[in-house]
Structure 1
Amino acid sequence: MKKTILAATLAAMAITSLSGCVVKVGGDGGWDADHLSSWEKQQERNRKNLAQISLGMTVDQVRVIMGTADFNEVYQKDQGVVQVLYYRTHRLHGDGVTEKEECTPVVFRDGAVTGWGETAVNLAI
């Protein structure tokens, strides 16, 4: 009887002394969104929302999907108005400050989407 109690006690001690780390991965293979910081959640949301943007959409339609841009530029070019909304989609610096280089630009010509990304900006300027 003493051997059984001793074995059970040792087994219980071994189980309670074990420690480890569990990493939960979401269903899409990415990190679990519950463990992301606010800026990581915003970046992930912006990347997903960019997939819903299509050519010809208006500025207002894009803002409904994407929300407020991190940066907004507007200028006149060749008798038309070019607007670029920048949304944070990736991190380059761990300084806590969002920079244009950490954003994906959405380009509009006369209020309609003409493209997004650096190529679209380069074509617009």
Structure 2
Amino acid sequence: MLKKFFRYLILGLGLYALIATLVITFYKDDPQAMIWQDREAFNKRYIEKLSLEQPTTINSVLDYLGSPDLTFAKRNSDEVLQIIFYRTQHKTSDGITTIDECTGLLFKNGQLILWGPSAYKKYQD
């Protein structure tokens, strides 16, 4: 009887581990369905992993993070500058997302060139 119990226990734990591993591996997070605290953390983790060594396009960021909280764009002769903001830190509980609560990602002709506090300064210049 005890042997049978342990056999089912081990089988159940193994099945649980398999299902958990499959969900973690293949389930894609949907930022649009997250509560704001989770989305902030999700955005922050993604942005912290960005690197200029690996070229990043605006489409790949939009595919992964979803719609930005704020966005601005301008054209200077032959180049298009676009800055998109994703909320990464909570400041005031007023229901409004402001630039100081976000991290900016600056794109030049669709390629990421800068992110963080200096991105918006560069965009304004």
| TM-score band, normalised by shorter chain | 0.5 to 0.7
Residue segments in structure 2 that go unaligned for 5+ positions in a row? 1-33
State the match for 1:43 in structure 2. 40
Matched, 1:97 2:66: no
For 1:1-125, what aligned pairs fall within 5 Å after superposition? Answer: 38-55=35-52, 56-124=55-123, 125=125
- The Cα offsets for residues 46-82 of structure 1, whole Å up to 9 and x where unpaired, read as 1011133333311111112221100111101253100
Where does structure 1 differ by over 6 angstroms across 4 or more consecutive aligned residues? none
TM-score (norm 2): 0.64
Number of residues of Structure 1 aligned to a counterpart in Structure 2: 89
Structure having the higher helix fraction is: 2
Q: Structure 1: where are the runs of 5+ without partners?
A: 1-36
Which one has the largest radius of gyration? 1
What is the CA-CA distance between 1:42 and the residue it aligns to?
1.1
Helix, strand or coil: the match of 1:42? helix
Render the CA deviation track for 1:67-103: whole Å, top value 9, x for unaligned: 1100111101253100001000011111122112211
